[in-house]
């Protein structure tokens, strides 16, 4: 009898290939293509991508180039059973993206506070390129987004402090919400837009529709700025001067940025509860609803009015 497991291991696409020794430029060309796809080498001449239709198409084009250069190869859909683990492969992807984020963050830091429009556009394009192949949420992305949000090109209009008119807006954020997005959603519906609805989209490739307000995502109307998390930015930009909310902002900051800036004693317990919501595998909308009860109680503990 085969025992049914609780979770199905992820599928990977593997590109196995062999190229002739000459011409040497063929190897360089293939390496550059695979780097652009975000693929990682799991063994010599074996590259991996998370399985999906786009990955299959991308590898198919790479395989055409391999054959055209006199080589041979194959594309395999596989589950890892022994040897390298899924976690180890994900770590390879994250390490590659983290290195790119570090390089970009340094370039942004070195560029100064005001840039020519073309220079700012190039930095944003590079950030979007890395995000598009950041399959597993590597660290460093939020730092890059915050640094970009703090920049401006001469004459570039800045988003208004209060982009709201009326209520009932669609608020858009990345899927797989965690502490900053859960807390921000609570803040939005409780104090900013009581009729708000939330939309959860992929971290890459989403184009906002007219009238949507984005938070805690790339080029959002409300997201990290400098060393402030999205919750803090919402408070400042929308003029929410409430000691209870300020205390919650400090807790969210310490959990989200992991820098211990405020040293909030509550951070450990709240982080454990939020992690429990994430591990339960519930949909994002349910995480926000469950998280709202958590933040209501936290707000009441800081002297705010419990709903």
Model confidence over 118-170: pLDDT tens digits? Answer: 788 788 888 888 888 898 888 888 888 888 877 755 554 444 444 555 578 89
Given a cut of 70, is residue 258 above it in pLDDT?
Answer: yes
Question: What are the extents of the domains in the chain?
Answer: 12-78, 93-149, 170-301
Angle of the 267-279 helix axis to the 284-301 helix axis, nearest 10? 160
> What CA–CA distance (Å, rounded) separates 270 from 134?
27
pLDDT of residue 109: 87
For residue 210, name the pLDDT band (cuts at 50, 70, 90).
Answer: confident
For residue 54, name the pLDDT band (cuts at 50, 70, 90).
Answer: confident
CA 50-55-60 angle, to 5 degrees, is 135
* Residue 199: both structure tokens together: 């939309």
Percent of residues, the chain, with pLDDT higher than 70: 91
Q: What are the angstrom distances between the C-alpha of 187 and each of 116, 130, 218, 279, 295?
A: 35, 30, 20, 23, 9
For the segment 185-194, what is each residue's pLDDT rounded down to a tens digit? 999 999 999 8
Comparing 3-17, 80-94, 98-112, the range with the smallest average pLDDT is: 3-17
Comparing 19-28, 148-157, 169-178, 228-237, the range with the smallest average pLDDT is: 148-157
For residue 2, name the pLDDT band (cuts at 50, 70, 90).
Answer: very low
Given a cut of 50, is residue 56 above it in pLDDT?
Answer: yes
- For the segment 93-98, the average pLDDT, to the nearest whole number, is 95
For the segment 64-84, what is each residue's pLDDT rounded down to a tens digit? 989 999 999 999 999 988 888
- For the segment 288-300, the average pLDDT, to the nearest whole number, is 95
Given a cut of 50, is residue 86 above it in pLDDT?
Answer: yes
Nearest to 7 by CA among 79, 55, 95: 79
Task: Please give the residue that has the higher pLDDT: either 281 or 201.
Answer: 201
> What CA–CA distance (Å, rounded) separates 192 from 230?
14
Nearest to 66 by CA among 52, 45, 49: 45
Q: Say whether the peptide bond before residue 131 is cis (omega within 30 degrees of 0).
A: no
pTM: predicted TM-score of the whole model, two decimal places: 0.54
DSSP annotation string for 228-261:
B-HHHHHHHHTT---HHHHHHHHHHHHHHH-S-S
Count of C-beta atoms within a 10 Å radius of residue 285 = 14
Comparing 173-182, 195-204, 291-300, the range with the smallest average pLDDT is: 195-204
- Whether 254 and 263 have beta carbons less than 8 Å apart is answered as yes
- Tell me the average pLDDT of the chain: 86
Percent of residues, the chain, with pLDDT higher than 90: 50
Task: Please give the residue that has the higher pLDDT: either 227 or 85.
Answer: 85
Q: What are the angstrom distances between the C-alpha of 78 and each of 58, 66, 75, 189, 249?
A: 17, 21, 10, 43, 44
pLDDT of residue 305: 60
pLDDT of residue 92: 95
pLDDT of residue 166: 57
Pick the CATH number of 12-78 from 3.30.70.240, 3.40.50.10600, 3.90.1300.10, 3.40.50.720: 3.30.70.240
């Amino acid at each position: 009898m085969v025992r049914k497991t609780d979770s199905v291991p992820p599928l990977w696409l593997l590109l196995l290939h062999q190229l002739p020794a000459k011409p040497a430029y063929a190897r360089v060309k293939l390496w550059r293509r695979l780097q652009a796809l975000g693929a990682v080498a799991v063994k010599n001449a074996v590259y991996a991508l998370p399985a999906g239709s786009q990955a299959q198409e991308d590898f198919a084009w790479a395989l055409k180039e391999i054959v055209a250069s006199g080589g041979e190869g194959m594309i395999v859909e596989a589950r890892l059973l022994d040897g390298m683990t899924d976690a180890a492969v994900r770590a390879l992807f994250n390490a590659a993206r983290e290195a790119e984020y570090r390089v970009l963050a340094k370039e942004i830091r070195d560029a100064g506070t005001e840039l020519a429009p073309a220079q700012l556009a190039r930095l944003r394009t590079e950030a979007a390129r890395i995000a598009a192949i950041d399959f597993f949420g590597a660290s460093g992305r939020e730092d890059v987004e915050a640094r970009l949000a703090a920049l401006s090109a001469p004459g570039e209009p800045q988003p208004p402090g209060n982009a709201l008119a009326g209520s009932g807006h669609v608020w858009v954020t990345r899927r797989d919400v965690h502490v900053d997005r859960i807390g921000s959603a609570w803040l939005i519906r409780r104090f900013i837009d009581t009729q708000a609805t939330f939309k959860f989209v992929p971290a890459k490739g989403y184009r906002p529709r007219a009238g949507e307000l984005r938070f805690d995502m790339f080029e959002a109307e409300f997201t990290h700025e400098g060393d402030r998390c999205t919750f803090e930015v919402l408070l400042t930009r929308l003029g929410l001067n409430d000691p209870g909310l300020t205390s919650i902002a400090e807790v969210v900051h310490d959990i989200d940025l992991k820098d211990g800036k405020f040293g909030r004693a509550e951070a450990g317990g709240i982080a454990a509860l939020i992690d429990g919501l994430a591990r339960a595998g519930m949909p994002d909308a349910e995480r926000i609803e469950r998280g709202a009860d958590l933040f209501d109680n936290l707000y009441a503990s800081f002297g705010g009015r419990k709903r």
